[in-house]
Chains A and B, each alone.
Chain A
Amino acid sequence: SQTIHQWPATLVQPVGSPLSLECTVEGTSNPNLYWYRQAAGRGLQLLFYSIGIDQISSEVPQNLSASRPQDRQFILSSKKLLLSDSGFYLCAWKGGTWQRAFFGQGTRLTVV
């Protein structure tokens, strides 16, 4: 069966520290992968999407980067976190339609 794993669920990091959030998918190959972020009071904003290994597209300029070192692994990173990076981060996988997409449980990041 197809599953998606995202961790950690919550994270508190000081300003200026690095970040690494990992998302892995099981039960499929060559998935389209997405990273979203929700800031307080706003919708889930698309940050990055990837259609294959080392193929990353960025939707908005920001302090974050994404990498896809393996087919079923998608990583969100930052070298130095800012207060404005706080939010809820969600990884998603779409193999066909959005009706059949899978979402991770999300990561609540608080930068202090």
Chain B
Amino acid sequence: DQQVKQNSPSLSVQEGRISILNCDYTNSMFDYFLWYKKYPAEGPTFLISISSIKDKNEDGRFTVFLNKSAKHLSLHIVPSQPGDSAVYFCAASGLAGGYNKLIFGAGTRLAVHP
């Protein structure tokens, strides 16, 4: 039972173009959605998040859009740069069993080529 799904295991984008990474979820009780970036041999690092009461959050080249009716969120990277090549994890947080859980998707490997 995967509550957070990233259906695209990989994505290849040309430098300077837009990268769009998608994520779907099933639980309406999540209060925050987060994106993490992971380079090889390193732990994931926080990139950007969005509250469940918002529909858009922007930070520089990164924008996250939330569509609650569709239970879908997406991360847009514009313009994409070679240094953006990494695995991106979508995650959702919410209270369950008395503590704040974080549930991850399977990740999408982004490759930005010149």
Tell me the A residues contacting B by CB distance below 8 Å: 4, 6, 9, 32, 34, 36, 38, 41-46, 49, 51, 57, 90, 92, 94, 98-106
Contacts and interface: CB of A to CB of B under 8 A. Distances in A.
B41 A46 contact: no
A85 B81 CA distance: 36
A6 B42 CA distance: 10
20 contacts: A32-B99, A34-B102, A38-B107, A41-B106, A42-B106, A43-B2, A43-B106, A43-B107, A44-B89, A44-B104, A51-B99, A92-B102, A94-B102, A98-B46, A98-B93, A98-B102, A100-B46, A105-B41, A105-B42, A106-B43
Helix, strand, loop or mixed for chain A's interface? strand
A37 to B, nearest CB: 11
Task: Name, among A6, A98, A99, A105, the residue most crowded by chain B CB atoms within 10 Å (CB to CB).
Answer: A98
Closest CB pairs A-B (n = 4): A103-B43, A44-B104, A43-B104, A43-B106
Contacts of B5: 43
B27 interface: no
Contact of B99 (A4, A49, A102): A49
